[in-house]
Every structure is written in structure tokens, then in C-alpha cells.
Amino acid sequence: MYHLVCVNCGTTYPADEILYNCKKCGHLLAVKYHLDTITVTKATWEKRPLSVWRYRELLPVQIEPVSLAEGGTPLYHLKRLGEEMGLPHLYAKHEGMNPSGSFKDRGMTVGVSMALQLKKKSVACASTGNTSASLAVYAAKAGIPAIVLLPAGKVAVGKVAQALMHGAKVISIRGNFDRALEMVHELCLTHGLYLLNSINPFRLEGQKTIGFEALDQLGEIPDRFVLPVGNAGNISAVYKGFLELQEMGFINRLPMMTGIQAEGSSPLVRAIREKLPEVIPELHPETVATAIRIGAPVNAEKALIAIRKTGGLAETVTDTEILQMQRDLARKEGIGVEPASAASVAGIRKLIKEGMIDRDERIVCVVTGHLLKDPETVIKQCEPPIEINADLPSLLYALHL
């Protein structure tokens, strides 16, 4: 059915070997299917509900999955914002509409199912927040313990609340996300927990379904696919999925994969701009979009290929541009997203101003997480409610009526 393959040296490993890196060269692994043996048709997929599991022939899970009805998220036409930018075909795929409020659920339904399939008894991750919330949810559904490591003081309150309420063991480290990931990786290797960060190749399999769904919803191949980038797992996953569809003859070209990072945390953009062979980690990443406050993107190797091979782009946006777009999506489109998610659309606003993209393009921006994930950043940007005495004259006065 499938095996694991090193993206650098091509060494292959059996599907049931628990590995996060190539044993020979240490590089990333990917799941490789024997696509010539997969006979599914588009018509079969279209008969099933829009969800991660519609595409199960291209997923590694062979047991009953641990599922909470993930995927099937709306694809919205950004009519008003698109008009303002002069882009008639601008869309947002709202991944905040997943069970735990972010796209991570697509990865975790597959990843936690694989933990069970591989007979692992406990799971762990490091996280800027959403991964931990999602892992806690899916571990709860699976009935297995989860340990999550967070950078102390740098995770939005909604995400911490989820991880705690769903019963994960939550550890805050006095260090950043990149350090937390090193620590949890070591913990998993030495203590047998199953690691569910995006270096886990199975988790990314679930996330590639964002691209599949967008294709099905749009009814055609988008010209450009835009994602906020932190660890660069999601952009790599979506690209891999499109490649598979192309190899199966379902599509005949690939969208231009476009990654957007926060200015204070943008090592991947720098590597693309300066045509570097690999990403140079940023030691002190900083941004209001804490979800993507990541200096050493672990999937950079895959993402550089995704962007370069599709003629895509990489761009930075400032915190001000991110927050402005968060407000615009909320007030002009009715779409509530967390700051990191607004980065994709903010990036398009910047690229169109710079003349880097064509106005006729069909553009799908992935907005990755829900507004309520980070209520504190929302409250800080908005006028507080007007408190009045409980009588009608006070109400009329407050409303200037």
C-alpha cells in the first residue's frame, strides 16, 4: 500500500516502522503510496460527504479512524475584500470551522489513528497552541494520554484552555517553541511516546485534504494556494496532495504554492528571496501571531521545494498588516479568524499592491484558525462595551439617539 521515503536520500522504510527522520541522513520522511494500485475515481469521492475521510484511499489509516467529523470546512468567496483589492476570484477556506477550531484536526484525526494502528499507548507534541488543543481533543476521543509542551506565556488563552479541558498534561517551558520541539522529540525517542508534530509524516497526510476539498468546492484548479507558514508543514502537505492528484491524472497542473510569514519570524521567506539552499533559523522569532512564532521551521526542506517547483511566492507581512486583515475579514466578510490565519489574506493584499500577482488569478487563501482561539488579541484591538445604567434614557444617550 505505502512506505516511508526520505525526501533527501530516497532511502525507504516499511510503513510500520516508527521513525521521524531518515536513519541514514537525518532528513525528513514522507509517505509514498503505490499510486498505480489505487483505482479510486473522482465519482466515488464525490458521493461521500466533504471531509478528510472522503479521500481515505490516499490516507494511511487502515483501522476505524479516531474521528470527530473534521474537514468539510466552508470555502467562502471574499466578495467585498476581493473587490477592494481588484481580485474577482479571491476565496478563503475557513479551517477555523474544524472540531477544535483549526486545521490541525485534519492532521490529528489521521495522526492519532496511526498512533492506535501502530499500537502506541500515549502521544505528545510541542506547540504554539493549536497542535496541543487538537492533540488533546483527539487523544481524549481515542482514550489515550497526551503530553503537550508549550512556550510559557506565548500561547493564546483559548488554546491553553482547550488543552487543559480535554485532559492533556500541559507543560509550559521557559523557552520558545523551537526548543519545546527539540525537547519533546527527545522525550518521544527515549520514552516511547508517539510524536505528533508535523515531522510525523502521517499527520501531514491528513492536512493535504485541505487542497483536495478546495479543488472539489471550487470545481476547478486554483491558480494560487496561499497559506500562513510556521513550521511549513501545512504548505508541504497541500503540495504533496496536489502532486498525488496529478500523478493519478485527476489534475493536469499545480497551483502556485504561496507561503506567508510574519515579518519578525520569516526564515522561509528569506531563504526564497535570497535563493538559499536551506533555511537559516531565526533565533528570536517575534510576532503578535503567536501560532506562527517559529524560528526554525522543521518542514522547510519540503516547503522550499513546494514553492520553487510550482513557481510560487513567499512574502512577509507586519503585525499591523496581520491585525488590519483580521479586522477586515471579521467586519467586511463575517469571517472570524485568529491573527496567524489573517496572514494569508494579508499577504495577498501586499502581493497585489506590489504587482506580484495577476488580477485574474483564482486564489484560495487558507485561514487556519478561529477568532476565539485568541480573545485577548481581539479585545485589545476593539473598543470595550459601553456600560450603562439599566434604564432607557441611559440607553438612548449611549446610542446618541
* 261 is a contact residue toward ligand AN7 (CB under 6 A): no
Place of cell 516511547: 192
For residues 128-157, which are near ligand AN7 according to CB under 6 A? Answer: 128-131
Q: How far is CA 385 from CA 152, 251, 400, in A?
A: 30, 50, 15
- Spatial distance between the Cα atoms of 209 and 147, rounded to a whole number of angstroms: 26
Stretch that binds ligand AN7, among 121-129, 168-176, 279-287, 347-355 (CB under 6 A): 121-129
Nearer to ligand AN7, 59 or 235 (CB): 235
The maximal CA–CA distance of the chain, rounded, in angstroms, is 76
Pick the stretch among 124-132, 239-247, 269-277, 310-318 that binds ligand AN7 (CB under 6 A): 124-132
Residues 8-67 that bind ligand AN7 (CB under 6 A): none
Nearer to ligand AN7, 142 or 199 (CB): 199
Q: How far is the CB of 58 from ligand AN7 (least distance, A)?
A: 19
Which of 98, 113, 209, 368 forms a contact with ligand AN7 (CB under 6 A)? Answer: 368
Q: Report if residue 99 touches ligand AN7, rule: CB under 6 A.
A: no
CB 23 within 8 A of CB 49: no
Given the DSSP bridges, would you call strands 314-317 and 256-262 parallel, antiparallel or unpaired?
parallel
Distance CA 157, CA 170 (A): 13
The cell for 28 is 525528513
State which residue, 51 or 130, has the beta carbon closest to ligand AN7.
130
- Which lies closer to ligand AN7 via its Cβ, residue 245 or residue 365? 365
- Does 292 contact ligand AN7 by CB under 6 A? yes
Shortest reach from residue 219's CB to ligand AN7, in Å:
26
Which of 229, 279, 288, 351 binds ligand AN7 (CB under 6 A)? It is: 229
For ligand AN7, the closer of residues 51 and 368 by Cβ is: 368
Here's the x/- map for ligand AN7, 183-222, by CB under 6 A: it reads as: ---------------x------------------------
Q: How far is the CB of 317 from ligand AN7 (least distance, A)?
A: 13
Among 73, 209, 234, 266, binds ligand AN7 (CB under 6 A): 234
Cβ atoms of 142 and 66 closer than 8 Å:
yes
Cα(356)–Cα(97) distance, integer angstroms: 30
Please tell me the distance from the alpha carbon of residue 74 to that of residue 83, in angstroms, as a whole number.
20
Among 29, 291, 317, 363, binds ligand AN7 (CB under 6 A): 291
Strands (E) in 62-119, as ranges, are 75-77, 90-94
**Residue 18 C-beta: closest distance to ligand AN7, Å:** 21
User: In this chain, which stretch among 79-87, 314-322, 338-346, 350-358 interacts with ligand AN7, using CB under 6 A?
Assistant: 338-346
Q: Is 230 in the site for ligand AN7 (CB under 6 A)?
A: yes
Q: Is 241 in the site for ligand AN7 (CB under 6 A)?
A: no
Cell numbers at residue 32, please?
A: 509514498
C-alpha grid cell for residue 288? 503578535
CB of 350 to ligand AN7, least distance (A): 17
Give the residue with the Cβ less far from ligand AN7, 105 or 338.
338
**Placement of cell 485532559 in the chain:** 167
Distance of CA 398 to the CA centre of its chain: 42
CB of residue 73 vs ligand AN7: minimum separation in angstroms? 13
Contacts of 31 (CB under 8 A, 6+ apart): 2, 3, 4, 5, 15, 60, 201, 202, 204, 205
Give 240's contacts (C-beta < 8 A, 6+ positions apart).
Answer: 30, 204, 208, 302, 306
Work out whether the CA dihedral 97, 103, 106, 112 comes out positive or negative: negative
CB 259 within 8 A of CB 232: yes
> Is 369 an interacting residue with respect to ligand AN7 (CB under 6 A)?
yes
- Report the distance separating Cα 96 and Cα 154, nearest Å: 20
Q: Quick check: 264 binds ligand AN7 (CB under 6 A)?
A: no
Residues that bind ligand AN7 (CB under 6 A): 102, 127-131, 198, 228-234, 291-292, 338, 340-341, 368-369
